[in-house]
Structure 1
């Protein structure tokens, strides 16, 4: 059985769609999933890139695209009253529901639905209080231990090479994005291109391709 770590942030519509699609995309395979909330803003800052919603034309395209994808997948999706928003309250709530900061699928589903159905303000204090009461976490989301676990998850993700969400790590390999689910399935099935003797060499060879654009730190 393969073990998948699913890195997510509830702010991401693509993470929501991938969360909904994962059981369908991997149907019939033997695997387990650990859901790890991470702060997308921290990943973006570490890599020195703007968030998708900080580039106005890209923001408009993403909002169109995810609505089209949702209706194609048969997934209910309504944008929250404001987006982007500060997701830290939801991330910390998810972390607080489990001792190791690994929320189960029900918790993640509840929080994704909180954001992506109904069209309400995802960060509204009263709504956050209500969903906290529903999930009844074993710890206070504002505790230092919860904040530390969220940071540890994010630091771990960065160390693994995660730069965005949704990302799925298995056997040290990171697959990024909703559209990577077919590739993830192929890997789990033992696809020859990904699993033969030269697979790791091919996987890592892309890092040696020279870039013709100077780095920002040069």
Structure 2
């Protein structure tokens, strides 16, 4: 039975949806949640955010809302999106990346429709997590360093989006990939057998010029 790291960002509606499925695995100690800065991952890879491509933005927002409705999960977009998730990510780290912290922050953004892009917006959540001064907590250099290290770890692992589950060097991205994630967690040798084992050997036929 493999253990894995789950990389997420509160700005991602699909991270919120997938957290609902990941919770039992985190609670059982099989998966470790790792908050990262999705924007920093995109910058390092030289990629645009899906929300920066107009028609893709419309599509992914509709897809997120449709998945939420299909799964019976409440979802309400914040008044602006994307928003700056750094304060929420840092508060999560300051609170120890506990399940309670992740729950509270995801619910505030995606159930209550709040942006959580400033210390003032985090005060109530911070207090509920035992943190008296949200501004001081998210300004702590150690917290910033931890979040940066998390993001560097994700990049070193090859993460290219959120949410992503990393299992023994293999990456699985997206709420829609959950069934495959479960299969690999339950059977780590799954990717070493049959056609799944050979995908890395498929030669590249053409490369796009940049």
TM-score (norm. length: structure 2): 0.88
Alignment correspondent of 1:178: 175
Equivalences for residues 159-198 of structure 1 within 5 A: 159-190=156-187, 193-196=190-193
Cα 1:190–1:131 shift into 2, 3 Å: same
Q: Say if 2:104 is the partner of 1:110.
A: yes
Structure 1 residues 57-107: Cα deviation after superposition (integer angstroms, max 9, x where no partner): 111111111111101101010001111100000000011112xxxx12221
What is the root-mean-square deviation in Å for CA atoms of aligned residues? 2.4
Give, in whole Å, the separation in 1 of the partners of 2:114 and 2:17: 18
Alpha carbons of 1:2 and 1:137: their partners in 2 closer, same or farther (altered >3 Å)? Answer: farther
Give the gaps of 5 or more residues in structure 1.
none
- Residues paired across the two proteins, number: 205
CA distance 1:210–1:158, change in 2 (3 Å): farther
Aligned residues of 2:3 and 2:185 also touching (Cα < 8 A): no
What's the counterpart of residue 9 of structure 1?
9
Q: Give 5+ residue unaligned stretches, structure 2.
A: none
1:96-175 pair list within 5 angstroms: 96-98=94-96, 103-123=97-117, 125-137=119-131, 140-175=137-172
Conserved? CA contact 2:87–2:138, under 8 Å:
yes
Task: Pick one of 38, 61, 64 that aligns with 2:62.
Answer: 64
**C-alpha distance in structure 2 between counterparts of 1:203 and 1:180, whole Å:** 17
TM-score normalised to the size of structure 1? 0.85
Counterparts in 2 of 1:73-112, with a 5 A limit?
A: 73-98=71-96, 103-112=97-106
Q: Please tell me whether the aligned partners of residues 100 and 129 of structure 2 are also in contact (alpha carbons under 8 angstroms).
A: no
Structure (1/2) with the larger helix percentage:
2
2:18: which partner in 1?
18
